[in-house]
Amino acid sequence: MEILGVFDNKNVYDRYTVVFNEAIEVIGEEGPFYQGLALSPNGGSTWVEVKFDEEGDNSHLGREISFEELPEKVKQTVLQTLEELKGEEPDDSLEL
């Protein structure tokens, strides 16, 4: 699983959204939708379905930022989640 985009929306509690390259179908909704993580500044997270257009406007997700701009706790949560999906122990040296 790879990261397609990282967003910061200061107007919501789970202000960070990380969009992954796993497309999903949401019944009754026009897509495209992708698997994502909504994350709070303290590193708490939940899986979400994210409406994301790789070549269009995604301002509903907030301001697009780089992975490096995420707070350290949030980066660690994302990296740990990716490692768990691979069935491995987290590796702090993983580069995205």
Residue at 45 is within a domain:
yes
Mean pLDDT within 67-73: 96
Range(s) of the domain holding residue 60: 3-86
What burial letters (b/e) apply to 33-72, b meaning 16+ CB within 10 Å?
bbbbbbbbeebebeebebbbeeeeebeebbeeeeeeebee
Mean pLDDT within 31-41: 93
* pLDDT class of 92 with cuts at 50, 70, 90: low
Bond preceding residue 41 cis, omega within 30 of 0: no
75, containing H or E segment: helix 72-86
Task: Provide the number of structural domains found in the chain.
Answer: 1
71: nearest Cα among 50, 93, 35, 44:
44
Residue at 91 is within a domain:
no
